[in-house]
């Protein structure tokens, strides 16, 4: 079946009749007009895929200016429409200029039917190709927006985290390389996503790479890509993580786990902003914003010779340290409430709330797994709870290991935990708690005020 809509514009009515006769079987619709001033109204009535446009309409004038004018007008009205110029032999230079200014091609008068058909069909295919490219670009943009879709990070309101937020806001749009350190589960990736969200690269991808999980033999392939046939399983060309993150953000998680033998390869790529796929020879330039993270003590790694100092300088323009949850107990209620809403919705328990003393019990715990452990704890509590309230008994912590017991604790922390435990045990009864602790009610009041319990 013929496809495509074709508009022919030429002041020679005999030529229009001849073109109409043989092209009507090549296109789904063919419309011929002799007056170019009708072009706007024609486009209001029909979406034309291809236009065959004469270059001169006024008798005695062969400058081609009329053709250039209407070429520009058609592109304004319908940018995706392809225009083929129709010209005499003497106007070839003008036709070539028209192609440079946006025309798809040109056909000489007198024309050859086969060549005319081939040229117009090629213009139609070009039209369809551009439409497909535009569609894919829109889909890609939508996919990137969906992948980057994040609500504002929920990390707490403690003084320590407010300082982190202030620093994130200050450096997000600078493009500077960032190193985020902190224990497992403190939210390093959340901070990385927030930096990306607030940067000018927010509409591009943030590509995450777990550096500790990549086998040494696949390191270059994963990060720099490979060409088909580069090794046994390389059945197709594949872009590496650097190339995927082009124009966006590359997040290298757990970079402290990267073997020393691979650090030099990473350093070269970061310095040059160029990668060469495995099995290839052509360098691929990349434009990335680098964010790295580790739970390791980077100073100890440097001192032991397990991390290159020059690589650290490259990744550590800005350093953000995330404190553990046990050092910012003020954030527990905010975070726990956020997770409660999240999982109450997931498990259809929207009316679920925390009973009194639950937050006190949570603040009394040391949280070795930090925010990640808190999230899992709240999820379990939502699942296990009965009724409309999560009770203290629904909040289950993992057993304390010998390593955890060996963790140093200050006298103030110990006293705070004892007071919180007594209050939880007697469900907030101050007299009973004071009696258990062997202090007066007034002293208990003062301690509670001091520790913000």
Q: Which of 10-24, 92-106, 306-320, 345-359 has the lowest mean pLDDT?
A: 92-106
Res. 56 pLDDT band, cuts 50 70 90: confident
pLDDT for the residue numbered 270: 94
**Where does residue 416 rank: exposed (0-12), middle (13-18), buried (19+ CB within 10 A)?**
buried
The number of C-alpha atoms within 13 Å of 307 and in the hemisphere containing its C-beta is 21
pLDDT for the residue numbered 143: 66
pTM above 0.85, yes or no: no
Res. 148 pLDDT band, cuts 50 70 90: low
Range list for CATH 1.10.8.60 in the chain: 326-451
The number of C-alpha atoms within 13 Å of 108 and in the hemisphere containing its C-beta is 6
Asked if CATH classification 3.20.20.70 holds for the domain at 159-323, the reply, yes or no, is: no
One of 1.20.140.10, 3.40.50.300, 3.40.605.10, 3.40.50.2300 is the CATH number of 5-140, namely 3.40.50.2300
Average pLDDT over residues 49-64: 82
Res. 152 pLDDT band, cuts 50 70 90: low
Distance, CA of 180 to CA of 223 (rounded, Å) = 20
Average pLDDT over residues 105-109: 89
pLDDT for the residue numbered 271: 94
pLDDT for the residue numbered 99: 85
Q: pLDDT by residue (tens digit) across 230-274?
A: 787 788 888 999 999 999 999 999 999 999 889 999 999 999 999
**CA dist 367 → 187, 230, 357, 396, 412 (Å):** 13, 47, 17, 12, 17
Average pLDDT, the chain: 87
pLDDT for the residue numbered 90: 61
- Report whether pLDDT(121) > 90: yes
Domain 326-451 class in CATH? mainly alpha
321 vs 157, more confident: 321
CB atoms within 10 A of CB 138: 10
Distance, CA of 182 to CA of 167 (rounded, Å) = 16
Distance, CA of 142 to CA of 140 (rounded, Å) = 5
**CA dist 3 → 117, 118, 415, 441 (Å):** 13, 14, 82, 89
SS3 category, 181: strand
Which of 58-72, 92-106, 161-175: highest mean pLDDT? 161-175
- Report whether pLDDT(294) > 60: yes
Runs of H (alpha helix) within 172-308: 188-197, 219-224, 241-244, 260-272, 298-303
- Report whether pLDDT(94) > 90: no
Average pLDDT over residues 309-335: 94
Average pLDDT over residues 431-451: 77
Q: pLDDT by residue (tens digit) across 189-198?
A: 999 999 999 9
CA-CA-CA-CA torsion for 266, 272, 273, 277, nearest 10 degrees?
-60
Range list for CATH 3.40.50.300 in the chain: 159-323
Using a pLDDT cut of 90, give the percent of the chain over it: 61
């Amino acid at each position: 079946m013929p496809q495509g809509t074709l508009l022919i514009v030429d002041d020679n009515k005999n030529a229009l009749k001849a073109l109409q006769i043989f092209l009507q079987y090549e296109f789904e619709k063919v419309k011929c007009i002799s007056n170019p001033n009708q072009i706007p109204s024609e486009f209001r009535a029909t979406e034309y895929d291809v236009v065959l446009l004469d270059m001169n309409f006024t008798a005695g004038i062969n400058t081609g200016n009329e053709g250039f004018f209407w070429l520009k007008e058609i592109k304004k009205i319908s940018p995706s429409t392809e225009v083929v110029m129709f010209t005499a032999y003497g106007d070839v230079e003008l036709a070539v200029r028209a192609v440079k200014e946006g025309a798809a091609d040109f056909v000489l008068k007198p024309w050859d039917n086969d060549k005319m058909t081939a040229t117009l069909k090629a213009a139609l295919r070009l039209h369809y190709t551009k439409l497909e490219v535009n569609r894919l670009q829109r889909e890609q943009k939508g996919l990137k927006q969906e992948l980057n879709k994040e609500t504002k990070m929920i990390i707490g309101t403690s003084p320590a985290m407010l300082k982190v937020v202030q620093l994130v806001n200050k450096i997000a749009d600078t493009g500077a390389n960032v190193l985020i350190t902190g224990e497992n589960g403190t939210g390093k990736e959340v901070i990385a996503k927030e930096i990306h969200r607030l940067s000018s690269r927010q509409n591009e991808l943030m590509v995450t790479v777990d550096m500790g999980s990549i086998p040494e033999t696949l390191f270059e392939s994963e990060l720099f890509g490979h060409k088909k046939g580069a090794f046994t399983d390389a059945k197709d060309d594949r872009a590496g993580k650097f190339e995927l993150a082009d124009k966006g953000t590359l997040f290298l998680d757990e970079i402290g786990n990267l073997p020393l033998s691979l650090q030099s390869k990473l350093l070269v790529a970061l310095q040059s902003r160029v990668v060469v796929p495995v099995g290839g020879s052509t360098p691929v330039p990349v434009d990335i914003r680098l964010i790295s993270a580790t739970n390791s003590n980077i100073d100890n790694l440097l001192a032991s010779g397990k991390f290159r100092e020059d690589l650290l300088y490259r990744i550590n323009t800005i350093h953000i340290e995330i404190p553990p949850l046990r050092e910012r107990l003020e954030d527990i209620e905010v975070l726990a409430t956020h997770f409660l809403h999240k999982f109450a919705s997931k498990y259809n328990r929207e009316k679920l709330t925390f009973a009194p003393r639950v937050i006190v019990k949570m603040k009394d715990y040391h949280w070795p797994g930090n925010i990640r452990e808190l999230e899992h704890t709240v999820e379990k509590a939502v699942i296990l709870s009965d009724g409309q309230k999560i009770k203290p008994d629904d909040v289950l912590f993992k057993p304390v290991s010998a390593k955890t017991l060996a963790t140093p604790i200050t006298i103030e922390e110990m006293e705070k935990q004892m007071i919180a435990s007594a209050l939880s045990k007697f469900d907030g009864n101050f007299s009973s708690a004071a009696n258990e602790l062997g202090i007066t009610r007034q002293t208990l009041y003062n301690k509670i005020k001091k520790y913000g319990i």
